[in-house]
Amino acid sequence: MANSVVKLSLVQMSCTDSKAENVERAVSQIRQAAADGGQVICLQELFNGPYPCQTEDHCQFDWAETIPGPTTERMSELAAELGVVIVVSLFEKRTAGVYHNTAVVLDADGSTAGVYRKMHIPDDPLYYEKFYFTPGDLGFKVIETRFAKLGVAVCWDQWFPEAARLMALAGAEILLYPTAIGWIDEEKEEYGTTQYESWQTMMRSHAIANGLWLGAPNRVGVEGRLQFWGGSFIANPNGKVITQGSHEEPEIITADCDLNMIDVVRTHWPFLRDRRIDAYQGLMRRVID
């Protein structure tokens, strides 16, 4: 019988204004995670540069690159060398004038197991993503890798239970949400604790409602008016936080994910069994008048 335990590692980094430096910093962290037994290694959202969306600035499009491109090629070579799965989040240039916030899953042989383009695009103060990113058109799908079936979404997607449910129904075993989220300077003192707790609680609810493992790597450090709050974490299918990173320091967050636990939890909390699929037609409408 195949080993049901998958070691999941999340890389929590701070970023500089040098793409080359950020990539090599990530390479070093991935090597460390692999040396510690990591099999599925997930990087944070847009890991190879500073978060570009605090302003609407056409110069920020220069950070984008094609897929395949220099960063995915570097990570593909690394995945094959180490025999690990790497989830890479990038600012994708699809064609002239069409850009996406994209996650690429590289299998343990270096091949591209799958690609996901961020579906939900926010437009909030200092998170002006609609200026940069075209909404994804690949849907919510499961990406099969050597070690596990992954449901991969990106940041703002993590607030939508529909996305998590669709990936669960398609057979995902681990949900991954590469993230770039933090506190706005003047809001942290009053709202900071609530914001972080809401963020974590929302994703823990996805783990519970769908009986899945879940990992969310988030960046750290101050960029402009944002302090990225780190706090990367892994939750089990009961929604329990198994391990969590700090709010300030770059680090690797790792946990053993026993995939057999999925069936155990789902047979004790049979939410998928008891869904009333005949009664949910209203979910296809914007509002029910």
* Residues labelled catalytic: 45, 118, 155
Q: Which one-letter DSSP state was computed for residue 75?
A: H
Strand (E) or helix (H) holding 30 = helix 19-35
Phi (first) and psi of residue 149, to 5 degrees: -90, 120
For residues 135 and 117, what is the distance between their CA atoms, to the nearest angstrom?
7
Please give the Cα distance from 60 to 47 (Å, whole number). Answer: 15
Tokens of 185: 């300077």
CB within 8 A of 40, min separation 6: which ones? 6, 7, 8, 9, 84, 85, 87, 145, 147, 148, 150, 174
Q: Which residues make Cβ contacts (< 8 Å) with residue 203, sequence separation at least 6?
A: 158, 175, 177, 214, 216, 235
